[in-house]
Amino acid sequence: MFTAATMAVSITMALILIRAFLGPTVYDRVLAVNAFGTVTVLIIGLIGFLTERPEFLDIALLYALINFVGTIAILKFFRYRALGRTSEANSQATNGEAAE
């Protein structure tokens, strides 16, 4: 049962990776990587059930959180070319830091 589900999830991962490599724009790749992370959460849980070690679900829970934060961070980086603060506020903030 879990073997069949793992096979379906593996096929899905391979197909999503094709889109991640092909993707004409960077947003296609980000979308593919986001879906790949969701499917990775599933396969970690399924491998935990296959090997009868459900502690793997903790890793899956952590991976779900990191996947979301990573997607948002990548999008923010490609939009503003900086992670700390937006580019409009960048000059003012650096001036403020210099004044301090």
Partner 1 sequence: MIDLALDIASWISFALGGFFLIVGAIGMIRLPDFWSRLHGAGVIDTAGAELILLGMMFQAGLTQVTIKLILIGLFVFLTSPTGTHAVANAAFVAGIRPLGEIKNDDTKEPKGTKS
The stretch near partner 1 (CB under 8 A) out of 44-52, 81-89, 92-100 is 44-52
The stretch near partner 1 (CB under 8 A) out of 55-63, 83-91, 92-100 is 55-63
Question: Between vectors from CA 26 to CA 25 and to CA 29, what angle results, nearest 5°?
Answer: 100
Question: Between vectors from CA 66 to CA 60 and to CA 71, what angle results, nearest 5°?
Answer: 125
CA–CA gap between residue 92 and residue 98 (Å, rounded): 10
Contact 33, 23 (CB under 8 A): no
Which of residues 68, 83, 92, 100 is near partner 1 by CB under 8 A? 68
Residue with token string 């879990």: 2
Q: Which residues in this chain contact partner 1 in the complex, by CB under 8 A?
A: 1-2, 4-5, 8-9, 11-12, 15-16, 18-19, 22, 25, 27-28, 30-32, 34-35, 38-39, 41-42, 45-46, 49, 54, 57-58, 60-61, 64-65, 67-68, 71-72, 75, 78-79
